[in-house]
Chain A
Amino acid sequence: MTQRVTSPMILALLITSLGFATLIFAQGAASPPLIYGAYYAGTLFALYLGVRLLLPHSDVLLLPIVTLLTGIGLVMIFRLTYDLEGAENLATTQAIWILVGSGAMFLIVLFFRNYHRLFDYKYLFALGAVALIASTFTPFGYEVNGARLWFAAGPVSFQPSEFARIALIIFFAGYLAEKRDVLTATSRSFLGVQIPALKYFGPVALVWAASLGLLVFEKDLGSSLLFFAVPLLMLYAATGRIAYVLLGGLLFSVGSLATYFLFSHVQLRVKSWLDPWADPDGTGFQILQSIFNIADGGLTGTGLGAGFSQTIPEVETDFIFSAIASELGLLGATAVLLAFLAFVYRGIKISLLAEDESSKLLAFGLTALFALQTLIIVGGVTKAIPLTGITLPFISYGGSSVVGNFILTALLLVISEKAGRREAEQPLYEGGA
């Protein structure tokens, strides 16, 4: 897996520079403090060199993709906010978060090369994940836009669920790898569907239910969906039993119906998805503005800075993809989606090449999280599925999301290092199985 990806790195940084140059020279935007640009480019390039040095066998192509996505994110956030009073510094704030994320990645690469130690603490991670999610119910938690997602301690505020997701995936990877055999070998069958012994399935279901329940009450539908679907996919990958997927699907349908009838905000979301025209200035406003702006872009886009996506509420976070589709068009938006798919492809490849089952499951879980998050939010803003507010990885404005995704990428890198080293030692080994 060893590769030199210096030119993709430079290309990704050049694309980012071109974006800023367009905004500054063609659109007459006031230049952001250039020192932040230098910090950004320098940090990511140094990170790339550091990873190459520390993890010489890792799949370092992930880094140019991360650089490209964070760069596009910076350009778009700057473009959407540079002339907005009170929000002029959003892009520099995001640049700082990218620096923090890079730092987190570097620490993981430096200290967690032997990531197997993590699985020894899998129950602790499970507990930690539930505690993180529950922390927003403490006096430190607070609501934004009706969803209780935030945790503030002194000057630091973050969204615990962004980190809880990763902790939960570590737990599931460790647990499922350990109990895989007993989960696969089922004892009973019900209506032709084989049911696993409850005592092995229990902890999974418990953690699952605890996290889901909390999230539903926090009104964080996007995270609920992720917390539900990612473990389900991991369960399928570990056991290969379609029965789990069907059972999960059934549970999901029941759960969805129950939440639909229990919570007015869920009904609202579904209604504004099915018929936004019913209330175009109220509940349907956001999704309609998104669709109008996407359509306005056409094939080639309005051009960077020439669109009107500032009309979409929350455009710099959840709806940033609509701004990309509007200004870069179908071609540009497809290119960005391909960059996400490339990341997913590398993640899946890391999972396939990983030696042991826990590593495979961890890489797969992280990749599935990344892929689903992208699909759910892009599907939401394009009205393919009901909208659930989550961030677009690396692109959306938001510190927790950026740092979380850097941690996710760092874990993928350390997993790939191990597989890569093994491959280097056994040159005739054929990847996959």
Chain B
Amino acid sequence: MNAHVRRTFYLFVGGFVALVWMLAYWQVYARESLANNPQNGLQTQRAISTPRGLILANDGETVLAESDRHKTPSGSVYDRIYPEGAAFANVVGYWSTKYGATGIEIGENSNLSGTAEPATLDGLINQMSGGPTPGNNVVLTLDPELQRVAYEGLAASDTGKGAVVAVDPNNGEILALASSPSFDPNNIDQTFPELVRDPDAPLVDRATQSLFPPGSTFKVITAGAALEKGLSPSHIFFDSGTYNLPGYTVVNFKGHVYGRVTFTQALVFSINAIFAKIGVEIVGPQALAQMAYDFGFGDSYDDFPLPVSASNLGTPPSEWTQGTLAQNSFGQGPTSSNAFEMALVAATIANDGKMMEPRLVREIRSPDGLILDRPTPSVRHDALPASTAQTLNEMMQKVVTEGGLTGAQISGVKVAGKTGTAETAQAPHSWWITFAPADYPKIAICAMVENGGRGDLAALPIAHQVMEAYLKGGTG
């Protein structure tokens, strides 16, 4: 009888081995495919049952996003709350288990969700014990006051559509990055279907993702290339109101004729015919394109936590006709850019031709407040020699002083800038790039109002408010 009992025991052992094999199949072999199965809601549940880190403005106090715990019958879950709402939504983004995530919420997700490599002993112990790993806090470079002023300025503009980007030229910190119209990320699960259908595209960040013709603001790049070719700011041009090319004629804005002007005055009065002539006869396609690339055209800033659409000049310069070159020289034709790129152009000129790496994240802190990462400012690219940048800086100051732009002036502060009125099929886009104080720049701004009309009328006042807030505020 014992032999039979033994045989049965081997049967049982075989059964247990089969169970371990079955477990190994689910837990090792089929694990990945089951985790990704659409019926499997565990990953979503994991995501909502651990608190994500805070997103904070550069004062380290203004909360832009936080996780709020509330009890449900099957345990605690966390809701994502955005106390500052729409003004910061294009940067902070939203975080939804239904519709995915955008902005910093996805750009810094590994930090916010606590899935990054453990950086502290507590974090390591937590990860090894399988305990919940609360996310790290992300402190942004955004100045909350500036962001609000910029957003409200845009929202109050005639079309209510546009973007403002403000940057510290010395270290590349983005101080404001506003886009309008925006959306309230607080109840994105309910509003999303409506928001995607909205013809004004509130979910699109106009500051970084959209591309528009930059208009005359691009002339600072053409001017930089011309200065590098040895053109003097006091060089005399004669403007007849037009510039004729085979098959294409450039006409000045509103048909003005300026006559005898210096190169500086050509920038001050934004004379298209002269800039077309400079582009075609002095700079040439390769040098113009190269200067644009040196200022960041063609670059999608992959290290920046938000997706950036690369500004571009249309086709490669080798394929340009003289007409294309002429149009590109004053920022029309195929040239397209956005407020993010043009703010960096202004900041680069302000910082003696050195483009700083643009940064949106000031530091990463552990939930206990320990600093885990603080990126240091670094030079991204040398776009212009310091002397050339200084010359261009002075020319841009004259745009404000001699161009009659009283709205841009601030008493006791030297302000530099350049308007843009980019022609479109509808009303022109209104652009203004500026930096101040021009002798020791602290802030560079680009404001753009979509179909807003003349640059000095729509975009300039918004940038001016932001600049005044910064220079007069404690942070300046």
**A contact set with B: CB distance below 8 Å:** 22, 26-27, 83-85, 233, 236-238, 240, 277, 280, 288, 291-306, 308, 310-311, 325, 327, 329-330, 333-334, 337-338, 340-341, 344-345, 348, 351-352, 357, 360, 364, 368, 371, 375, 378-379, 382-384, 432-433
Other A-B pairs beyond A300-B130, A368-B8, 10, CB < 8 Å = A26-B131, A240-B4, A295-B31, A306-B132, A310-B75, A330-B24, A330-B28, A341-B13, A345-B9, A383-B22
Question: Which residues of chain A come closer than 8 Å to B413, judged between CB atoms?
Answer: none
Residues of B within 8 A of A306 (CB): 130-132
A-B contact count (CB 8 A): 136
Which residues of A lie under 8 Å from residue B34 when comparing CB positions? 291-292, 295-296
Q: How far is the CB of A24 from chain B (nearest CB, A)?
A: 13
Provide the residues of chain A in CB contact with B46, threshold 8 Å: 308
Question: Interface code B12-43, partner A: CB below 8 Å = 1, 0 otherwise?
Answer: 11011011101110111011001101011110
Is B1 part of the contact surface with A, judged by Cβ < 8 Å? yes
Are A298 and B12 in contact, CB atoms less than 8 angstroms apart? Answer: no
CB-nearest residue of chain B to A240: B4
Which residue, of B19, B75, B131, has the highest number of chain A Cβ atoms within 10 A?
B19
Judge whether B425 is part of the interface by a CB distance below 8 angstroms: no
Q: Write out the residue numbers on chain B whose beta carbons fall within 8 Å of the beta carbon of A368.
A: 8, 12
Q: In the complex, are the beta carbons of B5 and A364 less than 8 A apart? A: yes
B129 and A26 within 8 A (CB): yes
Contacts of A383 in B (CB 8 A): 22
Closest Cβ of chain A to B438, distance in Å, is: 57
Which A residues touch B41, using CB under 8 A?
Answer: 311
What's the nearest-Cβ distance from chain A to residue B119, in Å? 19
**A352 and B130 in contact, given A288-B39, A291-B26, A375-B15 (Cβ under 8 angstroms):** no
Return chain A residues, CB-CB under 8 Å to B31.
295-296, 298
Is A237 in contact with B9, judged by CB distance below 8 angstroms? no
The CA-CA distance from A301 to B26 in the complex, in Å, is 12
B41 nearest in chain A by CB position? A311
From A84, A233, A338, contact of B74 by CB (8 A) = A84
- Are B27 and A298 in contact (CB-based, < 8 A)? yes
Contact A295 B22 (CB under 8 A): no
- When the two chains form their complex, are residues A375 and B129 in contact, meaning their CB atoms are under 8 A apart? no
Q: Would B6 and A293 count as touching, CB distance under 8 A?
A: no
**Which residues of B come within 8 Å of A, CB atoms?**
1-6, 8-9, 12-13, 15-16, 18-20, 22-24, 26-28, 30-31, 34-35, 37, 39-42, 45-46, 49, 73-76, 129-132
Q: Among B19, B35, B49, B129, point to the contact of A384 (Cβ < 8 A).
A: B19
A341 with B16: CB separation less than 8 A = yes
CB–CB A22/B129 < 8 A: yes
Contact A384 B22 (CB under 8 A): yes
Nearest CB on A from B33, distance (A) = 9
Residue of B nearest to A341 (CB): B16
Which residues of chain B come closer than 8 Å to A302, judged between CB atoms? 130
Question: Contact at B23–A294, with CB atoms within 8 Å?
Answer: yes
Bound-state CA distance A329–B19 (Å) is: 14
Q: Inside 8 A of A292's CB, which chain B residues have their CB?
A: 34, 37, 39-40, 42
Given A292-B40, A344-B9, decide whether A311 and B129 contact each other with a Cβ distance below 8 A.
no
Contacts of A301 in B (CB 8 A): 130
List chain B residues, Cβ under 8 A from A344: 9, 12
Q: CA–CA, A311 to B129, complex, Å?
A: 22
Contact of A351 among B5, B45, B49 (CB under 8 A): B5
- Which A residues are CB-close (under 8 A) to B42? 292-293, 296, 308, 311
Contact A360 B20 (CB under 8 A): no
Chain A residue at minimum C-beta to C-beta distance from B74: A310
Name the residue of chain A whose CB is nearest to the CB of B126. A26
Q: Which residues of B contact A330 (CB under 8 A)?
A: 20, 23-24, 27-28
Nearest residue, chain B, Cβ from A294: B26
A233–B45 contact, CB under 8 A? no
Residues of chain B within 8 A of A236, CB atoms compared? 4, 8
A375 touches B12 (CB 8 A): yes
Complex Cα gap A375–B13 (Å):
10
What are 28 pairs between A and B in contact, CB < 8 Å? Answer: A27-B132, A83-B76, A84-B73, A237-B1, A237-B8, A291-B34, A292-B34, A292-B42, A295-B27, A295-B35, A296-B42, A297-B27, A298-B31, A304-B130, A325-B23, A330-B23, A330-B24, A330-B27, A333-B27, A338-B16, A344-B12, A348-B9, A352-B2, A352-B6, A364-B5, A378-B19, A382-B23, A432-B2
